[in-house]
Amino acid sequence: MQLKLFFDHVLSVKEEHSPSFPLLQNLAVLGVLRSGSSPEQITQVKPGIIERKIDRHYRRLCRVQEELGQLNLKQAAAKNLPVEGTPGISFEDYVFSQIDFSRCRQMAAGDFERIFPEGLTDFDEDFFVKNFRISRNETRALIEKSYKMENALYKIQGESPLLLSVMRTLETSLENNELFTAEEIHTELEKLAILSGPPVQLGEAALTLPDIEQLFPLLVSSLDGLNITHHDGMKTKLFISSGSGGSPENLSATFMPGNKAWTRVLISRFT
């Protein structure tokens, strides 16, 4: 299957229907832009769902890198932090004691809106139950009722240990979902098929839309070599990494928070 023909078809669907398949739309736009062509339907390119998710991942790494740099390990040693099996303060307790929660009490609108509400989709349902003992929807409701925007700042109206923990975790956790999954693409394919109607013309013959087993590895591979530029000018490069047998296996990315390289797997075992 020629991926370009598929991308052209995705972009040919009327603009008002594109929110029904944001991943396919985003992948198609990225594919077209990287090929150097500019079809008429792309009049203004904004960061799509994929770039925004990668950017949130980068910003969380920046926060983690920043806090690692601020840890006073000499002070930790003076407090007799234990090796495993000895009494004293745990390393986790020490790290927690160094956390500055003040940034959670008042956040610039731009920072707040980058992690909420879309940032909730970066984590699966089990993440919320495991960390907060409440569901994703309950987490959303907690944040919505606890913050009010004043003069481009979101301010806490009713502070609680749970709320501070939620905001802190959403801003720093590296337990991200995969960038996108075969199931998500399959759901969007079904919506695209409904909008497309009868078999569409892909090349010389009228073909049905591709099945997910054929399409998913191609979509993941289409991101190989993509560079994402962040707000601070740093670039994140995506690449296909190989498994133990040398065959393509994961979509990975090298992030550079604080100019220090962090390599993270974004989609695992896609082949």
**What DSSP element (H or E) covers 150?**
strand 147-150
Higher local confidence (pLDDT), 78 or 171: 171
Q: pTM here?
A: 0.83
At residue 28, does pLDDT exceed 70? yes
Average pLDDT over residues 150-168: 92
At residue 102, does pLDDT exceed 60? yes
* 54 CB-near residues (< 8 Å, 6+ apart): 179, 228, 236, 238, 253, 266
d(CA 200, CA 193): 9
- Residue 45 phi, psi dihedral angles, 5° rounding: -95, 120
Residue 76, class by beta-carbon neighbours within 10 Å (0-12 exposed, 13-18 middle, 19+ buried)?
Answer: middle
Residue 43 confidence (pLDDT): 47
8 A C-beta contact, residue 55 and residue 232: no
Q: Cα separations (Å) of 213 from 188, 209, 218? A: 14, 12, 9
**Model confidence pLDDT, tens digit, residues 186-227:** 999 988 887 766 555 555 544 456 788 889 999 999 999 999
At residue 47, does pLDDT exceed 50? yes
Residue 207 confidence (pLDDT): 45
Provide the 3-class DSSP secondary structure of residue 245: coil
Provide the 3-class DSSP secondary structure of residue 252: strand
Q: Where are the domains of the chain?
A: 50-172
Low-confidence winner among 54-58, 93-97, 111-115, 162-166 (lowest mean pLDDT)? 93-97
Taking each helix axis as running N to C, give the angle between helix 125-132 and helix 136-146, from 0 to 180 degrees, rounded to the nearest 10: 60
Average pLDDT over residues 99-124: 88
Average pLDDT over residues 254-270: 94
Higher local confidence (pLDDT), 58 or 15: 58
Report the mean per-residue pLDDT for the chain: 83
Residue 58 confidence (pLDDT): 96
Residues of 155-187 as b/e, b for ≥16 C-beta within 10 angstroms?
ebeeeeeebbbbbbbbbbbeebebbbebebbee
Average pLDDT over residues 145-161: 94
